[in-house]
Amino acid sequence: MKNSTRSPSAKSRTRAANEQLALTLRSIGDGVITTDTAERITLFNAAAEHLTGWRADEALGKPLLQVFHIVNYKTRQPAPNPAESVLATGNVIGLAMDTALIARDGSERLISSSVAPIRDRANAITGVVLVFRDITRLRRAEEALQESQAYNRSLIDSSLDMIIAVDLDRRIIEFNHAAQETFGYAAAEIIGADARLLYADPEQGRAIQVAIAEHGRHSQEVINRRKNGELFPALLSASYLKNAQGDVIGVMGVSRDITQIKLAEQAHIKAERLAALGRLAAALAHEINNPLQAIRSTMDLVLDYELPTAEREENLRVIRQEIERLSEIASRILQFSRPATAPRRLIALADLIEQTLTLARKQMQHAQIRVATDLQPLPRVLASPEQMAQVFLNLMLNAVEAINESGAIQIRARVENSDAVIEFINDGPIIPPDTLPHLFEPFFTTKPDGSGLGLSVSRNIVEQHGGTIRVENLSDARGVAFTVRLPLEIA
């Protein structure tokens, strides 16, 4: 009696378990197919119906490969029978990566699958179970990503510029073909190395890192070192390297070897210097020749003729005057070529400008020229007051001569970064564009009685103080500005 009451209950539980299993198999999103040992389909869930295009009642009992039609989507060759392999070995296998399932209507899907043996309680193989899913979108996305990566790789490697990326520890993570050819390192030997290895001075690499940290990007000329130790100039532009979330993961630098550009610049500068030297020689010959001719003709007159004493003395005075003129020319040339080093001390530039302006004010008043000053407080700087006064006075008098009369001059001084900037602006006519490049050349002058050395000497003095001087036209009609920059080197 006890056995008869238990048997229906066990059958009921088994039936319920089977129904639950069938419900689960119908509900899951992966396709599930089971076969017997003859490779005939014994179970076919709803997802398998959707993916293959076969209804379960049509597929049951049919050979697996008749319903589960798979090929290699690249070669188009039939894929190996997975059930056959599992039945033969008893191992769990997966389908090859490039496996495509061809549905009943001819549509095609890329799939991944796990194929395993079905065993009974005695561990004997009674069939095969295939669990498979559609990975078409995933594979297409992977392929698109691979194509994008290959395209980006091609862009980086085909670039004529060097492209180098480093991580947050300054370890090199990208070194394209141009960088390999320029530096002489193979990618395998340089990836992972410290980027400072590439600089002639490692401190320059650290300085660039600091500049990028402050501004997010930085550009400058650097001196790099090749594998063989040779140094070369390069123009570098670097910025932060970020991931898709916007997090900084390193620095990307793009640079180009500018050795040939530098050589061309040097050749151009050399040619310009030779041309300037030719103009200097011609101007110098002209300057010296005039007093020499006067001396010669006067000497001939004194030596060849009996002259009254007064006339003779007058001619001798002319000779002395022309000799003094030659001496002055020689002194200016010497001052231009070898400016004397004058003692320097801490000076207030604004006070010096005001003092120099006092010297030029009489000529400005005579020419009816108005003067306006805007001298912001400036730190005291280490300079020669006599030499700087010479520069300022020369620029003021040049402005007076340029305006001629009834004009205005502005003198402005301010601090800009680490420089003192002094501007002398006049509203006179602009300087012809073909004249501007030659304005600071020795003996170049646009004035009939000018020596052409004032601006040259002024530039030498300013450069001796570590500064710069430049000139520019302010408009198409009127206005010229001379700008002096002096470093604020406080003693």
Residue 206: band (very low, low, confident or very high) from pLDDT cuts 50, 70, 90: confident
Superfamily of domain 2-140: PAS domain (3.30.450.20)
343: how many CB neighbours lie within 10 A of its CB? 8
- Per-residue pLDDT, 172: 93
- Give 195's DSSP letter: G
Task: Give dist(CA 391, CA 383) in Å, integer.
Answer: 12
Q: Note the CATH architecture for domain 345-487.
A: 2-Layer Sandwich (3.30)
Contact 130, 68 (CB under 8 A): yes
Least confident of 34-48, 148-162, 330-344: 330-344
**C-beta of residue 236 within 8 angstroms of C-beta of residue 255:** yes
Report whether pLDDT(106) > 90.
Answer: yes
Nearest to 452 by CA among 284, 290, 303: 284
Average pLDDT over residues 36-48: 94
Could you tell me if 440 and 451 are in contact, meaning their C-beta atoms sit under 8 angstroms apart? no
Does 2-140 match 160-257 in CATH topology? yes
CA distance 411 to 422: 7
The partner residues of 224 in beta bridges, in order of sequence, read 199, 232
Is the pLDDT confidence value at 107 over 80?
yes
Predicted pLDDT of residue 262:
85
User: Which of residues 6 and 256 earns the better pLDDT score?
Assistant: 256
**Residue 161 carries which DSSP code?**
S
Which residue reads 């600071």 in tokens? 440
Taking all residues of the chain, what is their mean pLDDT, rounded to a whole number?
84
Contact (CB, 8 A) for 61 and 44: no
* Euclidean distance between CA atoms 144 and 146, whole angstroms: 5
Q: Which CATH number is 262-337's, of 3.30.70.20, 1.10.287.130, 3.30.43.10, 1.20.1260.10?
A: 1.10.287.130
Mean pLDDT value across residues 160-177: 91
Among candidates 332, 317, 318, 336, which has minimal Cα distance to 287?
Answer: 332
Report the alpha-carbon angle 40-44-47, nearest 5: 145
| pLDDT top residue among 142 and 423 | 423
Band (pLDDT 50/70/90 cuts) for residue 325 is confident
Every domain of the chain and the residues it spans: 2-140, 160-257, 262-337, 345-487
Q: What DSSP designation does 77 have?
A: P
Tokens of 295: 């001396």
Q: Report the topology of domain 160-257.
A: Beta-Lactamase (3.30.450)
pLDDT of residue 491: 43
Are 381 and 489 within 8 A, CB to CB? yes
pLDDT of res. 1 = 45
Spell out the alpha helix ranges (H) of 246-308: 259-304
